[in-house]
């Protein structure tokens, strides 16, 4: 079978493993619908911390956690990055299985927990994860099942694995404005030809183009194509922040970086009965 499910002791689906005939593989935890592994060419492409906690007591540190309905600590609800990454999603099964791709789905609907969060609307999130020979696709649909319009921000918090952060460079952010979260949220202009990392970075690039090129390792380039998302967050905690995080090793900042497709700079306002869609496609080029 190209898709295997692994259950918790209580019988709930815990993990879904997609195996493509080409040998590529990915794994999704129902906790947060977090993609926690993507193996391509025999190599893990996503970073998950050795200290990641996966028992549901906190979001998983690594992979692709899904941020909804609040990016960061914003005005829409208390806490950081919303509730979607902390809740167990429903696995809705195999949506496609042919020679070219395997697709599985996950759903999250409003519940007592979400209504008590401070963001109390009725909603449905549908998330599709698609694996092909050389790509990983993640597609989010947000449906407003409430009687009133609701605001939200959303983001795919992708952690990429690298052998050396010193070699990482990102193309196609040049000429954009960005909010620097480390400099009191002031807005700056990116004039560097490539974005690289030699200190803590926490920035929201506004109005990013459809395709970003990530030089992950000297001999490995990843293309990140997104649709429906307005912004891209670039993050690396570097030394001091790494030490502050209980679920992250002190030196792990050297082997990861986050490039996060999202609509976060301005909240989306979704009218009742409407669906908003966005996604990304990661492809090794
Ligand atoms: O520790 P968390 O909640 O997973 O957040 C990690 C980082 O996520 C990034 O998206 C934010 O821009 C950072 O400010 C934040 O530190």
Instruction: Tell me: pLDDT of 219 over 80.
Output: yes
**Residue 74: per-residue pLDDT:** 86
How far does the centroid of ligand 1 lie from the alpha carbon of residue 157, in Å? 9
**Residue 91: per-residue pLDDT:** 98
Confidence of residue 99 (pLDDT cuts 50, 70, 90): confident
CA distances to 154, 193, 246 from 80, in Å: 12, 32, 16
Find out whether the beta carbon of 233 lies less than 6 Å from any atom of ligand 1. Answer: yes
Domain 12-284 has CATH 2.70.98.10: yes
Mean pLDDT of the 34-51 span:
98
85 annotated ligand binder? yes
Peptide bond into 61 cis (omega under 30): no
Q: Return the percentage of the chain with pLDDT > 70, whole number.
A: 100
Mean pLDDT of the 117-141 span:
98
Mean pLDDT of the 212-236 span:
98
15 annotated ligand binder? no
The Cα–Cα gap between 137 and 150 comes to: 27
Q: Model-level pTM?
A: 0.98
Index of the ligand 1 atom closest to the CA of residue 237 = 16
Find out whether the beta carbon of 202 lies less than 6 Å from any atom of ligand 1. Answer: yes
Q: What are the domain boundaries of the chain?
A: 12-284
Instruction: Tell me: pLDDT of 255 over 70.
Output: yes
**Residue 1: per-residue pLDDT:** 65
**Residue 63: per-residue pLDDT:** 98
Index of the ligand 1 atom closest to the CA of residue 85 = 4
């Amino acid at each position: 079978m190209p898709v295997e499910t692994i259950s918790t002791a209580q019988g709930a689906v815990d993990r879904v493993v997609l195996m493509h005939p080409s040998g590529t593989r990915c794994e999704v935890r129902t906790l947060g619908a977090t993609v926690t592994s993507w193996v391509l060419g025999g190599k893990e492409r996503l970073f998950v911390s050795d200290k990641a906690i996966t028992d549901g007591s906190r979001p998983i540190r690594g992979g692709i956690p899904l941020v909804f309905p609040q990016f960061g600590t914003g005005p829409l609800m208390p806490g950081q990055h919303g509730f979607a990454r902390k809740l167990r999603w429903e696995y809705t099964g195999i949506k496609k299985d042919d020679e070219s791709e395997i697709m599985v789905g996950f759903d999250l609907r409003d519940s007592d927990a979400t209504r008590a969060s401070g963001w109390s609307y009725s909603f449905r999130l549908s998330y599709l994860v698609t694996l092909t020979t050389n790509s990983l696709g993640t597609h989010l649909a947000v449906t407003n099942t409430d009687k009133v319009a609701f605001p939200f921000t959303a983001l795919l918090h992708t952690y990429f694995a690298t052998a050396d952060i010193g070699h990482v460079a990102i193309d196609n952010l040049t000429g954009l404005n960005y909010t620097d979260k480390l400099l009191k949220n002031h807005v700056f202009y990116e004039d560097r030809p490539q974005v690289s990392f030699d200190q803590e970075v926490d920035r929201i690039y506004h109005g990013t183009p459809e395709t970003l090129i990530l030089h992950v390792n000297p001999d490995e380039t990843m293309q990140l194509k997104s649709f429906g998302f307005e912004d891209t967050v670039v993050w690396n905690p570097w030394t001091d922040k790494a030490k502050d995080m209980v679920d992250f090793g002190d030196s792990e900042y050297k082997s990861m970086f986050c490039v996060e497709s999202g609509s976060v700079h301005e909240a989306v306002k979704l009218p009742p009965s409407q669906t908003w869609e966005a996604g990304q496609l990661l492809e090794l080029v």
